[in-house]
Amino acid sequence: QDNRISIWSAGDLGNEGLNGEYHGEPRLLCDIQHNGDVMDMQFLDQERIVVASSTGTVTIFRHHQNNQTLSANHLWEKAHYHVDQDTSCGGAACTGVVCNNPEIVTVGEDGRINLFRADQKDAVRTIDNADSSTLHAVTFLRTTEILTVNSIGQLKIWDLRQQRNEPSQIFSLAGDRVPLHCVDRHPNQQHIVATGGQDGMLSIWDIRQGTMPVSLLNAHEAEMWEVHFHPSDPDHLFTCSEDGSLWHWDTSTNVSEKPSFLHQGGRSTAYLSHSTVNQSVVSAWLSNDPTKDRMEITNLIPNQTLSVNSLDVLGPCLVYGTDAEAIYVNRQLFA
Amino acid sequence: WGPAELLVCETLFSRAGGSRSRCPARSPCPSRFWGEGRAGDAARALTGSLAGSGDGAPSSSRVFVVRRDQDIYIQTLRKLFNESHGIFMGLQRSEEELAGKSRKAQLVQVSKNYRSVIRACMEDMHQAAVLTRDSALQGQYSTQVSILSAMELIWNLCEILFVEAATAGPLLLRLLDWVRLHVCDVDSMVREVLNSESPSKHKLFWNVVDVFVLQGRMDEARHLLSKEASANPTSVNMYKILDDLMKKMPVPSLGNTQTLTELELKWQHWHEECQRYLQDGTFASNPHMESICKILLGDEEAILEKKELMTTWYHFLVTRLLYSHPTVKPMELRFYAQSSMDLFLGGESSPEPLDMILMAAFEFEMHQVIKECSIVLSNWWFVAHLTDLLDHCKLLQSHNLYFGSNMREFLLLEYASGLFSHHSLWQLGVDYFDHCPEYGRAYLELHIERIPLSTEQKALKVLRICEQRQMHEQVRSICKIMAMKALRNNRLGSALSWSIRAKDAAFATLISDRFLKDYCERGCFSDLDLIDNLGPSMLLSDRLTFLGKYREFHRLYGEKRFLEAARLLLMLMTAHIAPCSFWMTLLTDALPLLEQKEVIFSAEQTYELMRCLEDLTAGNPDKQRFQDDDVETTKVEMLRLALARNLARVIVKEGTVEGS
């Protein structure tokens, strides 16, 4: 198997044509061999990337921008493993990684949670058997708390300050325990969490209240692989799925329903009366009234064939990759 | 080992019929197996790396790795496979209702898409060849580039003749385009002359003019000639006449501006004019111009003199047609083609496979084209996609092979099977199988079970494919495999989630037994997060329900809700949810409840408990270990005592009148 980590340049800003449209094709800058499938990856900082492998290894790669090369900086082998030595070298796939420089949290098929620090050789903390099933994804809730989702449909909060190896809270879906594959937290409002399940259902949770999701949205026809809130514009949510579609969920349309003086003040609500503050600051994601708050959902892929495995969004740029071995870059998301 | 790889071990005996293994690397021998049926399948697999001694002499034992399809492992070809898959799917899904011209235009577009993918791949391969330093790899890339280039040549011709089915008139124009696009050996020479300071002084100047004339590029030829004319005032007259002739030359047009008869008349007229000028000796002083005029007249010898500039017989064919039969009809091509090839090769060299394929195309023998391509190419990609396209053009009668499926399906099946041996391209193969109506599903069922499932994500993808096609057997078997793996790794939650997906009650029972066993051994439950949150999946199997309820009993007890706990415990036994082996444990769990200060079990319930105990102990006395095991007998005695005491208390309590 020949798997590689590659860095591409999706066109510099200087390449803008006269009408600012033509940006040129993404160019491959550098790549490096990777052992095993790449299950997840994230930038640790400007130069370093943490990659989770199907062999259970977690690697930090460094991108040297002066000579455009990649090199493996640090390796944690057997970060995830099964105890039974009969299976293939005992390695278990590491399914999710999340970074908050310098901390790195990984989860895997062995139900283990590892906490690493970028500069330390061994794991800072390991929670063995944190879950009896596979942990599919992890994300930071606060700097000391993480959220994990597993294959029996549970969302768990772990408090890393505490020494006990138990989750501080467990949420689960109401009906069938459909496995959850991805999780993301609202960038500004930390109690809003979105998860995607094996049946393509998008669930929005309010973790301040209740153990069940606030809303369940029937979305895709197959596993939802990734869900992302837009980091700077969180009224927008993106999901991609095995059925080959990528959906853009837009709740910003009910901006017009808010009173007009909010527009001028931006996010500052200091001068508004208490009641209006409550009404307007409640996120559209948590509102239960379907008639009042319309959500626009668009499929961004015109002719879908194979699965969209992964996506990422930053500013006006959307990147996604499919099983047809193609990467797509959309530079004008909100145009 | 991949699913389609064979391990071949040479024995000490000389191989009978060892000719099969003589296939040189990369060229399969399906010619012998064409129409032989499935028996030829295994032999067809012997392509690629067989390099052993083929003469059957006993030699030191060797082990060969035989791969079904070697080409799919070439990194740079992956783009070809992926993109063509997209085009293939688009074609299958395209509307059939479009009839006539719009359908034809659609099919031509599909054909052009395929070709552009081939070209893109050629570009990449060329880049790779330029950048690599390894000479073996460079050689390999160069070979691939020439193979791809040949494929595009053939495809382009098929597009003109079959898909677009160009009629007389436009046919010639298309063929001219085809030649201009593909005969590019002369490009560097052309560039050199054009870029030089005074082209007319360049020694290759006339060669370039000839090239332009041979390819029917009149404007460019005239442009160059004008430079010569300005440099050489003495031949201005000659130049003017030649220029005029070239300008006036009638060519077929794409639109409907003139009928064929009109064209023919005009052309006849023009031809005569050229004839006159030649016979008058106008160009006698300049041999170059004279030869150009002869070419314009379609003089075969004059054209043949420029063999090196044409480089191929099909270029010669097209030039001939341009200057002698511009209104050639498609069906007449075969005669001209045959004679052109004979004249060009002139008995010096024998036709190569590519030539034979093109000849078959000119003769409109589609089956022959496909057959020859299959023989020559090492991969089914080309023939599979081309045949599929031709089938959509409704050009292939169902050419039934011995085993019943038609040619298109046969080729697609072969191609897709090749894809399945790849660790990642198998996903493309699934879609191909879907569009093979007769055997596709059977093939898919067999192949999909054999994909190695290294990660859960891969297993999920495979499962999704099976579920979408209602392949329940495969779903069950894959889920069982994954569940067993999880169980062996002690991931009970994962195992349970796999059995829920497959709705596999038997496996759920197995998992529950594991849990219960753990409990009996350790006295506490492992993985409480799982058991506490089973939800509706509890109902998948009785044992699982029991597990969930049993845990609930423990919880109720822990919360000191004794009455409910008691009721639950009893229900577990009387409703026969609990397995018999567990009854003793349950009864033992009842002990603390019986010994509580307040009476928990009612009389009815106590009678039930006693009945359960009797059922348990009244079993087969031979098998019972109770009699020998002191602990067990003590337990039974304690239970009997507790039950009796409870009964006594409860009878008194229930008999007491309230409030007195």
Is there a single domain that holds both residue B520 and residue B594? no
- Domain end among B310, B328, B346: B328
Residue bearing tokens 């160059």: B224
- On the question of pLDDT at A297 being above 60, the answer is yes
Is-contact B448 B474, C-beta < 8 A? Answer: yes
Confidence of residue B234 (pLDDT cuts 50, 70, 90): confident
Pick from A111, A153, A242: CB nearest B491: A111
Contact residues on chain B for A173, CB-CB shorter than 8 A = 535
Question: Shortest CA distance to B602 belongs to which of B653, B656, B565, B641?
Answer: B653
Average pLDDT on B532-542 reads: 80
Give phi and psi for B134, each to the nearest 5. -75, 120
Binary contact (B427, A303; C-beta < 8 A): no
- B539 band by pLDDT with thresholds 50, 70 and 90: confident
Whether B215 and B298 share a structural domain: yes
Could you tell me if B208 and B189 are in contact, meaning their C-beta atoms sit under 8 angstroms apart? Answer: yes
Rounded CA-CA distance B79/B144 in Å is 14
Same domain, B526 and B607: no
Using pLDDT thresholds of 50, 70 and 90, give the confidence band for residue A89: low
Nearest-by-Cβ selection for A132 from B85, B468, B491: B491
B322 and B219 in one domain? yes
Please give the Cα distance from A162 to A167 (Å, whole number).
Answer: 10
Residues with Cβ within 8 Å of residue B23, at least 6 apart in sequence: B29, B46, B47, B50
Residues B543 and B592 in one domain: no
| 3-state per-residue secondary structure call for chain A | CCEEEEEEECCCHHHCCCCCCCCCCCEEEEEEEECCCEEEEEECCCCEEEEEECCCCEEEEEEECCCCEEEEEEEECCCCECCCCCCHHHECCEEEEEEECCEEEEEECCCCEEEEECCCCCCCEEECCCCCCCEEEEEEEECCEEEEEECCCEEEEEECCCCCCCCCEEEECCCCCCCEEEEEECCCCCCEEEEEECCCEEEEEECCCCCCCCEEEECCCCCEEEEEECCCCCCEEEEEECCCCEEEEECHHHHHHCCCHHHHHCCCCCCCCHHHHHHHHCCCCCCCCCCCCCCEEEECCCCCCCCEEEEEEECCEEEEEECCCCEEEECCCCC
- In this predicted structure, what is the pLDDT of residue B68? 61
Region of poorest pLDDT, from A213-227, A275-289, B240-254, B274-288: A275-289
Domains along the sequence of chain A with CATH: 1-13+23-130 (2.130.10.10)
Please state the length of chain B.
660
Q: What percent of chain B has pLDDT over 70?
A: 85
B199 and B271 co-located in one domain: yes
| Domain of residue B299, residue span | 178-328
Hey, is the C-beta of A108 within 8 angstroms of any chain B C-beta? no
Q: Are B545 and B596 contained in the same domain?
A: no
* Shortest Cα–Cα distance, B235 to chain A (Å): 49
pLDDT for the residue numbered B256: 66
pLDDT tens, position by position, B112-161: 999 999 999 999 888 888 888 888 888 888 888 999 999 999 999 999 99
| Min Cα separation A283/chain B (Å) | 30
Q: Which two tokens stand for residue A104?
A: 């790195």
Please answer whether residues B465 and A223 qualify as being in contact, where contact means their C-beta atoms are separated by less than 8 angstroms: no
Residues B537 and B584 in one domain: no
Dihedral of the CA atoms A237, A240, A246, A247 (nearest 10)? -30
Residue B431, domain member (yes or no): no
Tell me the Cα Rg of chain A.
21
The two structure tokens encoding residue A213: 């999701």
Q: Determine which of A142-146, B23-27, B42-46, B496-500 has the lowest per-residue pLDDT on average.
A: B23-27
DSSP classification of residue B350 = P
User: Of B313, B328, B343, which one is at a domain's C-terminal end?
Assistant: B328
B650 and B546 in a single domain? The answer is: no
Average pLDDT value over all residues in chain A: 81
Q: Nearest CA of chain B to the CA of A130: how many Å? A: 9
Q: How far is CA B543 from CA A179, B319, B512, B522, B566, in A?
A: 22, 83, 6, 19, 20
Among residues B495, B520, B517, B490, the alpha carbon closest in space to that of B506 is found at B495
Other beta carbons within 10 angstroms of residue B598's beta carbon come to 8
Interface of B with A (CB under 8 A): 75, 78-79, 82-83, 85-86, 89-90, 423-424, 427-428, 431, 454-457, 460-461, 464, 468, 485, 488-494, 496-497, 500, 526-527, 529-530, 533-537
Tell whether B185 and B319 lie within a shared domain.
yes
pLDDT digits (tens, 9 = 90+) for B310-338: 888 899 999 999 998 888 888 989 999 99
Least confident of A260-269, B230-239, B407-416, B631-640: A260-269
Do B589 and B539 fall into the same domain?
A: no
Contact across the interface for B79 and A325, Cβ inside 8 Å: yes
Q: Is residue B626 part of a domain?
A: yes
- Of chain A, the percentage scoring pLDDT greater than 90 comes to 37
Q: Is the pLDDT of residue A254 over 60?
A: no
How confident is residue A311, by pLDDT bands cut at 50, 70 and 90?
very high
The answer to whether the CB of B213 falls within 8 A of the CB of B292 is yes
A200 touches chain B (CB under 8 A): no
* DSSP line for B361-403: HHTT-HHHHHHHHHHH-SSSHHHHHHHHHHHHTT-------TT
pLDDT digits (tens, 9 = 90+) for B236-280: 888 888 888 888 888 887 776 778 888 889 889 999 988 888 888
Give the pLDDT confidence score for residue B348 in this predicted structure. 77
**Residue B55 forms part of a structural domain:** no
Contacts of B280 (CB under 8 A, 6+ apart): none
Residue B20 lies in a domain: no
Q: What is the pLDDT of residues B585-643, one digit of tens each?
A: 888 888 888 888 788 888 888 888 888 888 888 765 544 555 556 777 888 888 888 88
User: Is the pLDDT score of B209 beyond 70?
Assistant: yes
Q: Which residue has the tokens 């880049």?
A: B127
Contact B497 A152 (CB under 8 A): yes
Angle at B451 (CA atoms; ends B450, B457), nearest 5 degrees: 140
Mean pLDDT across A236-248: 93
Is it the case that residue B523 has pLDDT exceeding 50? yes
Domain count, chain B: 3
- Give A75's strand partners: A59
Map tokens 């197959």 to a residue.
A222
Cis preceding linkage at B233, omega within 30 = no
Q: Which residues contact B430 (CB under 8 A, 6 or more apart)?
A: B416, B444, B448, B465
Q: Which residues pair with A5 in a beta bridge?
A: A32
Task: Answer whether residue B516 is part of any domain.
Answer: yes
**Is B21 contained in some domain?**
no
Checking if the pLDDT of B367 tops 90, the result is no
CA pair distance B425, B194, nearest whole angstrom: 46
B545 belongs to a structural domain:
yes
Examine the fold and report which residue of B305, B328, B351 is the final residue of a domain before the chain moves on.
Answer: B328
- The answer to whether residue B37 scores a pLDDT higher than 90 is no
Residues B644 and B608 in one domain: yes
- Rounded to an integer, what distance in angstroms lies between the CA atom of residue A30 and that of residue A72? 13
CB B371 within 8 A of CB B365: no
